A and B are shown apart, each in its own frame.
Chain A
Amino acid sequence: AQSVTQPDIHITVSEGASLELRCNYSYGATPYLFWYVQSPGQGLQLLLKYFSGDTLVQGIKGFEAEFKRSQSSFNLRKPSVPWSDAAEYFCAVGAPKGYLNTGFQKLVFGTGTRLLVSP
């Protein structure tokens, strides 16, 4: 079964500084990987996803993530963070053949990283 670890519960960055949020996964083969963002009291919005191919994935709002098989990681990065990026970020992993090889996609989510942006 797959699992996800987001080791940082909170991260604070200065407005305009760069950002990297860590995500480590456990899965026996190449997984499907996702990053979602959640503003307070809202649903989750997809930032980017990795299924196969180029290991550097570009997403919305200027975010990117790099899949590193050797490190079982899928870290999220952004070169310059505005105040409006303050939110909670979730990494999720899915299995290519789906849940119990049924083809149905079950996502396992990390516990999230709360990003605070200081002025």
Chain B
Amino acid sequence: DGGITQSPKYLFRKEGQNVTLSCEQNLNHDAMYWYRQDPGQGLRLIYYSQIVNDFQKGDIAEGYSVSREKKESFPLTVTSAQKNPTAFYLCASSPGQTTDTQYFGPGTRLTVL
């Protein structure tokens, strides 16, 4: 079955540690995205990538980093510089054309202890 997988589902981090969230898709989509979701704030775009080896900052990129070395993978690193990292993180992908729909993974809940 084609789809988007995110791992782990739950992640706990101590203050000062970097953590990496995995996102993999087998839909052959060009574009991939990372969103952060906080209660009452909807989804906010962290980073996006239109094509392999290229990515752009979204609206709230500070304290995060990404890479796009393979078409199917778009990992997100939450660094110690992110002041309030506890949130639900969603990865999405789309074929990459203007009219395309974004499809979402199941999400990773990150909690800082």
- Which residue numbers of A lie inside 8 Å of B, CB to CB? 9, 32, 34, 36, 41-46, 49, 51, 90, 96-98, 103-107, 109-112
Report how many A-B pairs have Cβ atoms within 8 Å. Answer: 58
Knowing A32-B99, A43-B106, A46-B103, the reply to whether A105 touches B43 (Cβ < 8 A) is no
User: Does B98 contact A111, Cβ atoms closer than 8 Å?
Assistant: no
Interchain Cβ contacts under 8 Å between A and B, 7 examples? A41-B88, A42-B107, A43-B90, A43-B106, A96-B98, A107-B45, A111-B40
User: Does A112 contact B42, Cβ atoms closer than 8 Å?
Assistant: yes
Knowing A90-B42, A97-B98, the reply to whether A104 touches B106 (Cβ < 8 A) is no
Residues of chain A contacted by B94 (CB below 8 angstroms)? 105
Q: Which of A43, A49, A97, A104 contacts B31 (CB 8 A)?
A: A104
Q: Which 9 A-B pairs have the closest CB atoms?
A: A43-B104, A44-B104, A111-B42, A109-B42, A109-B43, A43-B106, A103-B98, A98-B98, A43-B107
Query: Interface residue tally of chain B, by bracket?
Result: 20 to 34
B97 near A: Cβ within 8 Å?
A: yes
Q: How far is the CB of A41 from chain B (nearest CB, A)?
A: 7
Q: How far is the CB of B12 from chain A (nearest CB, A)?
A: 16
Chain B contacts with A in 15-51, Cβ cutoff 8 A: 31, 40-43, 45, 48, 50
Residues of chain A contacted by B58 (CB below 8 angstroms)? 106
User: Which B residue sits closest to A44, measured CB to CB?
Assistant: B104
B82 near A: Cβ within 8 Å?
A: no
Per-position binary interface string of chain B over residues 74-108, scored 1 when its CB falls under 8 Å from any chain A CB and 0 otherwise: 00000000000000101010101111111111110
